[in-house]
């Protein structure tokens, strides 16, 4: 990354399957109180953007609270289908999310790849659909512990990137956020060292440059995710190739999440 370029940071809170809509409302109200100064201005530095990703049942409630309280966060979702409408019982379409003001949609999360059998092919269709509806995909990639220990981590991530970025335009690429989430670090308390996370994020930047073109390397936004918390956030974010964090557990605690957002 160009050292003269003041980097824009995106901190995203993935609430996963937590918080019913009453709890979600309370959480967003707590965030609102902590993110605002008494004069109504935000405590966040200008370079920091924040997104929160409630469950589908809470999105409307959270959207209303964000709008009425002017909470300085973007609304996000955790998943969507890739088809706009039709006979897909139980699914939520990207069009429905866009109409609710959702701006960021997580896709390719390892939990969905593992428990819901989402393949790279499905993830690509979802990325395309999210982009088509004017939203930003947050594309998760990352290796298992076994893959890391057997020296296959970089190859695994390279294959996941190839599936999404080959034959992808510069314009679309710059709208995709990439989240490097080593599977072994998720929910385990075992954060990757900032050096290991930085090395993989630098590799991701280089690979996407090779797949799409050198003009994207400065502009793409790459997050790290996996046991990020208020203690390790500053160190992770000080790495030149880490442009944000995708936070699970610690995003359910308003104080911790705001401390992470303020650690840039």
C-beta of 165 vs 224, nearer to ligand 13P: 224
C-beta of 94 vs 226, nearer to ligand 13P: 226
d(CA 73, CA 66): 7
Shortest CB 258 distance to ligand 13P, Å? 15
| Axis-axis angle for helices 194-212, 153-165 (nearest 10) | 40
The CB density around residue 32, as the number of other CB atoms within 10 Å, is: 18
The CB density around residue 261, as the number of other CB atoms within 10 Å, is: 28
Specify the 3-state DSSP secondary structure of 224.
strand
Shortest CB 140 distance to ligand 13P, Å? 7
One of 19, 118, 147, 181 is an active-site residue; which one? 181
77 binds ligand 13P (CB under 6 A): no
Stretch that binds ligand 13P, among 32-40, 90-98, 195-203, 223-231 (CB under 6 A): 223-231
Q: Which two tokens stand for residue 223?
A: 């997050």
Residue nearest to ligand 13P according to CB distances in the complex: 248
List the alpha helices (DSSP H) in the chain. Answer: 21-35, 56-69, 94-99, 110-115, 120-132, 145-149, 153-165, 170-173, 194-212, 233-237, 254-261
54 binds ligand 13P (CB under 6 A): no
Query: 63: closest CA among 15, 101, 8, 99?
Result: 101
Q: Is 109 a catalytic residue?
A: yes
260 binds ligand 13P (CB under 6 A): no
State how far the alpha carbon of 69 is from the alpha carbons of 33, 72, 136, in Å: 9, 9, 23
d(CA 108, CA 223): 14
137 binds ligand 13P (CB under 6 A): no
One of 81, 109, 133, 136 is an active-site residue; which one? 109
Binds ligand 13P (CB under 6 A): choice among 249, 254, 257, 260:
249
Residues in 148-187 that interact with ligand 13P by CB under 6 A: 181, 186-187
The greatest distance separating any two alpha carbons of the chain, rounded to the nearest whole angstrom, comes to 54
244 binds ligand 13P (CB under 6 A): no
Stretch that binds ligand 13P, among 33-41, 94-102, 213-221, 240-248 (CB under 6 A): 240-248
Query: 237: closest CA among 110, 43, 106, 48?
Result: 48
Stretch that binds ligand 13P, among 35-43, 91-99, 126-134, 219-227 (CB under 6 A): 219-227
C-beta of 53 vs 81, nearer to ligand 13P: 53
Q: Using CB under 6 A as the criterion, which residues of the chain lie in contact with ligand 13P when the complex forms?
A: 14, 109, 181, 186-187, 225-228, 246-250
The residues annotated with a catalytic role in the active site are: 109, 181
């Amino acid at each position: 990354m160009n050292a003269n370029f003041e980097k824009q940071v995106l901190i995203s809170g993935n609430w996963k399957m937590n918080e019913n809509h009453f709890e979600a409302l309370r959480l967003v109200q707590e965030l609102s109180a902590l993110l605002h100064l008494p004069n109504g201005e935000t405590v966040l530095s200008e370079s920091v953007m924040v997104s929160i990703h409630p469950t589908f049942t809470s999105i409307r409630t959270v959207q209303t609270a964000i709008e009425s309280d002017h909470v300085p966060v973007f609304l996000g979702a955790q998943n969507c289908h890739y088809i706009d409408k039709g006979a897909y019982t139980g699914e939520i379409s990207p069009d429905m999310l866009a109409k609710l003001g959702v701006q960021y949609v997580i896709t390719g999360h390892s939990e969905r790849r593992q428990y819901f059998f989402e393949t790279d092919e499905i993830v690509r269709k979802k990325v395309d659909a999210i982009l088509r509806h004017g939203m930003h995909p947050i594309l998760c990639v990352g290796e298992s512990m076994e893959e890391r220990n057997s020296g296959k981590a970089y190859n695994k991530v390279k294959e996941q990137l190839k599936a999404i970025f080959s034959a992808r335009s510069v314009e679309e690429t710059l709208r995709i956020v990439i989240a490097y989430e080593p599977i072994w670090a998720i929910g385990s308390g075992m954060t990757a060292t900032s050096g290991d996370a930085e090395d993989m994020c630098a590799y991701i930047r280089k690979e996407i440059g090779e797949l799409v073109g050198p003009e994207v390397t400065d502009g793409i936004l790459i997050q790290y995710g996996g046991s990020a918390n208020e203690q390790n956030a500053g160190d992770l974010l000080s790495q030149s190739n880490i442009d944000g964090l995708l936070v699970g557990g610690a995003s359910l605690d308003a104080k911790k999440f705001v401390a992470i957002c303020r650690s840039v």
